Amino acid sequence: MLASFKDAGLCALFAAIGLTVNLTWCTLAGHTPGFTDALSGLGVPINPRAFFLMGILAMSVVFAALPRKMREMESSLWPVVTLLASVGTACFAIASSQNTFPPVVLAIGGLLLFGVGYFWLTARFVLLLARTQTFMPTIACLTLSLIAEPALVSAAERLLSVEVQVSTVVLMPILSTVFFQCARSAALKQRSSEKTGRTVFGVPSRPRGEQKKGMRDDIRDAIILIAAASLLLATVRSLSFVGLWGEGHIDEFDHPSMTSSPMLFIAYSIGLAAFSYLALGRTESWPLRLRFQPSFLTVIITLSVSMILAGDQNADPALLDTLMRLNDSFSHLMFWAVVAILLDVSSIPSYRVIGTATALYAAGSIIWVIFLGNADAVENLIVIAAIYVLSIASMYYSWNKRESAPSDAAAVVTDALERRCAEVSKKYKLSPRESEILVLLAQGRTRTYIQEELVLAENTVKSHVAHIYTKLGIRDRQDMIDIVLDIADTKDDRHAKE
């Protein structure tokens, strides 16, 4: 895992730090005295985390419904969203200690903005990593952030006063944005020589490898896994301290936590790293219908052990806290791993993928917080087991149906066409975006389809097509196809002579 992280360079380092800041921001706002004291004075019958989740749900639905608009507006929106996230966090913190606005209204408004900003900032890191790095560096960044977050939260609670904690948390969205820009700059420098056609945040995207192209038929399985992983994460979080805000987790004298014991924290770190490598990394080449079964089973086993300890009055509360944190982190990693895979193998716009996945998680979490928060651990375990069985059954059904159908050679033709277009792009010095559009034109795609696929404006597509025709010295699409075939035929003839 560390080797994968090293290969990704500074992009992975800055992204891991930024994701750690995001996680710390959320945990401190939900569980530290500076914010829990504010919660106690509001008297809201619903746990405040529900409003935070509503903000996440609202923004993720926008991502899913309007992927092209969100991509086009990203460069102008990020400063505004960052500022609103900080303002929302501040409003939540001061709501009960001011008289200018109704405290409940100010707190709920702040939590909604908090949720919007948190999703926006986290989604940008995941999109950047998934589209510019390979699978394992992406998982390594998420793993390191989940390991660093509890240590950073513990240090902040022990070393900083309540006032300093609040001020620090309010500034964390800005700090996260700074690290994102650093990660983006590092990725741009790392991939400046690549000409793949696709870009994310102005950085050339990583091209699909041969193995990934073979996984395109697994998109249906990935969608099933997205739904299962979303519900799994929502269910598991309902059992941990993360599930309900206002519940502290640092209390050395009454209920010691994982971070009160260095050995438990080391065990947590090793367990999380082992899960990332063994359950996610080592299964990377497995068929998708089998790939996440070890992850599901690990979550079910750790939850079962946690239930046994919870029923033992003599059990060490710090050990129980460690197991619940591991369970939560396993589910967290599995969720983003499935998202990263679907971002890689699917032609669905990236913003729609990450928006849909997060919307499912947020909706499931809201249901747990509002309606099922009092369900006991046995009921939650039954729900998780049901999610596992249904997802595996659905994937096996789709797999058996696929195997009974005749084989499809479309993927082979598509791959050959992409290679031929790459030759044309190199010879005529097309830009990365022009190269990407050339492939779609050669596939017979309409301009409307290209707009939706690449999330571009109509005039932008027209301009790129005109530039392609000018560089190739042609007037219509048939001439373009002739050039693509001529390039390929010339290359094949040369290889035949050799």
Can you give the pLDDT at residue 40? 63
Query: What does the H/E/C string look like for the chain?
Result: CHHHHHHHCHHHHHHHHHHHHHHHHHHHHHHCHHHHHHHHCCCCCCCCHHHHHHHHHHHHHHHHHCHHHHHHHHHHHHHHHHHHHHHHHHHHHHHHHCCCCCHHHHHHHHHHHHHHHHHHHHHHHHHHHHHHCCHHHHHHHHHHHHHHHHHHHHHHHHHCCHHHHHHHHHHHHHHHHHHHHHHHHHHHHHCCCCCCCCEECCEECCCCCHHHHCCHHHHHHHHHHHHHHHHHHHHHHCCCHHHCCCCCCCECCCECCHHHCHHHHHHHHHHHHHHHHHHHHCCCCCCHHHHCHHHHHHHHHHHHHHHHHHCCCCCCHHHHHHHHHHHHHHHHHHHHHHHHHHHHHCCCCHHHHHHHHHHHHHHHHHHHHHCCCCCCHHHHHHHHHHHHHHHHHHHHHHHHHHHHCCCCCHHHHHHHHHHHHHHHHHHHCCCHHHHHHHHHHHCCCCHHHHHHHHCCCHHHHHHHHHHHHHHHCCCCHHHHHHHHHHHHHHHHHHHHHC
Average pLDDT over residues 263-272: 94
pLDDT in tens, 283-310: 888 877 778 888 888 888 887 787 777 7
Can you give the pLDDT at residue 215? 46
Model confidence band, residue 458 (pLDDT cutoffs 50, 70, 90): confident
pLDDT in tens, 226-249: 888 888 888 777 766 666 676 544
Which amino acid, one-letter code, is at 216? Answer: R
Task: Give the angle 116-117-119 at the CA atoms, nearest 5°.
Answer: 70
User: Is the pLDDT confidence value at 485 over 80?
Assistant: no
Q: How far apart are CA 140 and CA 16, in angstroms?
A: 8
User: Is the pLDDT confidence value at 438 over 50?
Assistant: yes
Can you give the pLDDT at residue 128? 92
- Give the largest CA-CA distance in the chain: 85
Best-predicted range by mean pLDDT among 61-65, 128-132, 253-257, 348-352? 61-65
Can you give the pLDDT at residue 407? 44
User: Is the pLDDT confidence value at 465 over 80?
Assistant: yes
Q: How far apart are CA 368 and CA 461, in angstroms?
A: 44
Model confidence band, residue 25 (pLDDT cutoffs 50, 70, 90): very high
Average pLDDT taken over every residue of the chain? 80
Average pLDDT over residues 393-411: 50
Can you give the pLDDT at residue 484? 82
Average pLDDT over residues 48-65: 93
Best-predicted range by mean pLDDT among 29-43, 277-291, 405-419? 277-291
pLDDT in tens, 335-391: 999 898 888 777 778 899 999 999 999 998 888 777 755 555 555 556 666 666 655
pTM given for the model: 0.77
User: Is the pLDDT confidence value at 20 over 90?
Assistant: yes
Q: How far apart are CA 149 and CA 19, in angstroms?
A: 9
Listed range (48-57, 294-303, 390-399, 412-421) with the worst mean pLDDT:
390-399
Can you give the pLDDT at residue 117? 96
Can you give the pLDDT at residue 332? 92
Can you give the pLDDT at residue 386? 63
pLDDT in tens, 142-177: 999 999 999 998 898 888 888 898 999 999 999 999
Can you give the pLDDT at residue 388? 61
Model confidence band, residue 179 (pLDDT cutoffs 50, 70, 90): very high
Average pLDDT over residues 123-147: 92
Can you give the pLDDT at residue 214? 43
